[in-house]
């Protein structure tokens, strides 16, 4: 099956569900959409998703739900990436809460039972023909998905559209390990501190300090996914002066400690 034009391939699928597992996934860096909703599971490596002007990090052993029709693109700096993607015709749900869940982008850690269910689906990977067992099994998985999402992740960064913030954004991404002062940022943009803070909060929904914290946690998750560094090494690599400060910041964002990610 041709992975280089997977969008066209998916649109030709007539059955209500489709499974596509791939090692060393070739990323489609162009914005595209599917008429089916999709559940992306990262078994190995990490994945960046851009959906509706917002960039998300999907770490190893996490899943993302992308609603049908949502414009998105994917990329990764992982040397090896193993993705498992399940496509669904999204039905109408009786519960308004479930309907809302499936209409939005969702990211969360995959509990063990969900991971096992997704891995079991590999037997149907790239199967074009309808299979009643696949349909029943994936239907059950889809309906239970909102209940697996006990702790949704807020690992999304809104990409500012305001041109005057581009220099600020570039500086934050290039120097996230450093303690950036507001005076430095003001010099970069030729804007007053008040204007920068107002525009940045309006465009991203967060303060400069919160944005930098989130950048550091996202970069730490990249490093954790490689399994090449200790927690102490990662803490200093992303700009923290102590392991305790890193652990506290990580927990504030992820709701679990980095040691739990290492075990996972």
Sheet holding 37-44: strands in order across? 17-23, 82-88, 37-44, 62-66, 106-109
C-alpha–C-alpha distance, residues 153 and 150, integer Å: 10
C-alpha–C-alpha distance, residues 261 and 59, integer Å: 10
Band of the pLDDT at 8, cuts 50, 70, 90? low
User: Please, what's the b/e burial string for 62-97 (b: 16 or more CB within 10 A of its CB; e: otherwise)?
Assistant: bbbbbbbebebebebebeebbbbbbbbebeebeeee
Structural domains present in the chain: 6-148 (2.60.120.280), 159-263 (1.10.10.60)
Average pLDDT estimate for 214-240 = 90
End-to-end CA distance of the chain: 32
State the Cα angle at 134 between 128 and 136, rounded to 5°. 140
pLDDT digits (tens, 9 = 90+) for 142-198: 999 998 887 677 677 777 777 878 888 888 888 888 877 777 777 777 778 888 888
Three-class DSSP category at 107: strand
Residue (of 42, 3, 24) closest to 80 by Cα position = 24
Res 23 pLDDT > 80: no
User: Please, what's the b/e burial string for 183-215 (b: 16 or more CB within 10 A of its CB; e: otherwise)?
Assistant: eebbebbebeeeebbebbeebbebebeebbbbb
Which long-range contacts link 25-28 to residues 24+ away (Cβ below 8 Å)? 25/74, 25/76, 25/81, 25/82, 25/83, 27/74, 27/75, 27/76, 28/73, 28/74
Residue (of 26, 62, 30) closest to 261 by Cα position = 62
Portion of the chain with pLDDT greater than 70, in percent: 91
Higher per-residue pLDDT: 243 or 174 = 243
Secondary element (H or E) of residue 20:
strand 17-23
C-alpha–C-alpha distance, residues 261 and 258, integer Å: 5
pLDDT digits (tens, 9 = 90+) for 81-113: 788 999 999 877 878 888 899 999 998 888 899
| Verdict on whether the full-model pTM lies above 0.85 | no
């Amino acid at each position: 099956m041709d992975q280089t034009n997977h969008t066209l391939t998916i649109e030709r699928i007539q059955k209500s569900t489709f499974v596509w597992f791939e090692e060393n996934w070739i990323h489609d860096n162009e914005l595209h959409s599917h008429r089916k909703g999709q559940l992306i599971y990262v078994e190995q490596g990490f994945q960046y998703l851009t959906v509706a002007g917002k960039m998300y990090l999907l770490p190893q052993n996490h899943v993302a739900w992308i609603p049908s029709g949502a414009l998105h693109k994917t990329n990764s700096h992982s040397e090896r990436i193993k993705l498992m993607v399940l496509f669904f015709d999204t039905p109408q749900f009786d519960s308004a809460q479930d309907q809302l869940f499936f209409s939005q982008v969702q990211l969360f850690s995959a509990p063990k039972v969900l991971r096992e269910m997704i891995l079991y689906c590999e037997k149907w990977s790239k199967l074009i023909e309808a299979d009643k067992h696949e349909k029943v099994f994936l239907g059950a998985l889809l309906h239970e998905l909102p209940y697996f999402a006990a702790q949704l992740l807020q690992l999304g960064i809104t990409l500012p559209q305001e041109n005057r913030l581009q220099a600020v954004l570039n500086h934050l991404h290039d120097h996230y390990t450093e303690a950036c002062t507001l005076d430095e940022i003001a010099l970069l943009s030729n804007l007053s501190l008040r204007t920068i803070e107002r525009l940045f909060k309006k465009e991203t929904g967060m303060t400069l300090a919160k944005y930098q914290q989130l950048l550091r946690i996202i970069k730490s998750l990249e490093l954790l996914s490689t399994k090449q560094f200790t927690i102490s090494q990662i803490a200093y690599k992303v700009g923290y002066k102590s392991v305790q400060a890193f652990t506290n910041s990580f927990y504030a964002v992820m709701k679990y400690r980095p040691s739990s990610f290492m075990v996972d």
